[in-house]
Amino acid sequence: MIALEEKIRKEGVVLGNSVLKVDRFLNHQIDPKLMFEIGQEFTERFKDKNITKILTIESSGIAPSVMTGLILNVPVIFARKSKSLTMVDHLLSTSVYSFTKQQQYEIAISKSLINEEDELLIVDDFLANGEAAKALIELAQQAGAKISGIGIVIEKYFQQGGNMLRSNGFHVESLVQIESLNNGDIKFCHKMEVH
């Protein structure tokens, strides 16, 4: 997705050799117009699926998910990381390890929101080692729902998450794939590129 790649080139910041900071348009400040374009792109890439709901995780998955949900006209459910007094329903839960926050945490969804008839699109901002995606898959499977696809805004292709998900048969669409972040330089994968 060209507009996203340009935005990353312009405003992304590399920290170390593996962390890409996109706090100026996705993870802290959000560019709503870009999020809408991301929603259009996910809609196009999953147009042959009969998606009934989008499943994501708070907080950075919410903006791209809600724009995709607006265009697809389906609800968005975000898995929650901390319990609220209002979460009194039966819960489905699992645990996730976050490398960027360096901690293990539980995520949960209300059991009543997803069922066996749902065909889910899982959406997240990043795919690195696949920890968050695996946890969302686990919740979807606990609910008995079908997973129609996994939409990722930025895939760090040099980490193992994408490979792990694809080799398990999931349809993963990443709007950009990053080949490496070595020496502060952002290299994108271009499947069609002539070397």
Nearer to its own copies, 165 or 175 (CB): 175
Residue that is written with structure tokens 């760090």 in the block:
156
| 36 lines the binding site for its own copies (CB under 8 A) | yes
Nearer to its own copies, 62 or 165 (CB): 62
- Which of 1, 4, 8, 35 contacts its own copies by CB under 8 A? 35
| 94 lines the binding site for its own copies (CB under 8 A) | no
| 63 lines the binding site for its own copies (CB under 8 A) | yes
100 contacts 19 by C-beta, under 8 angstroms:
yes
Q: What is the C-alpha to C-alpha distance for residues 69 and 72, in angstroms, rounded to an integer?
A: 5
- Which of 6, 9, 82, 166 contacts its own copies by CB under 8 A? 82
Nearer to its own copies, 88 or 192 (CB): 88
| 113 lines the binding site for its own copies (CB under 8 A) | yes
Q: What is the C-alpha to C-alpha distance for residues 128 and 184, in angstroms, rounded to an integer?
A: 17
Residue that is written with structure tokens 């802290």 in the block:
28
Q: What is the C-alpha to C-alpha distance for residues 118 and 156, in angstroms, rounded to an integer?
A: 29
- Which of 9, 83, 166, 190 contacts its own copies by CB under 8 A? 83
Show Cβ contacts of residue 124 under 8 Å, excluding neighbours closer than 6 positions.
56, 57, 60, 61, 132, 133, 136, 150, 151, 152, 153
Binding site for its own copies (CB under 8 A): 15, 19, 21, 23-25, 27-33, 35-36, 58-59, 62-63, 65-67, 69-70, 73-78, 80, 82-89, 99-102, 109-110, 113
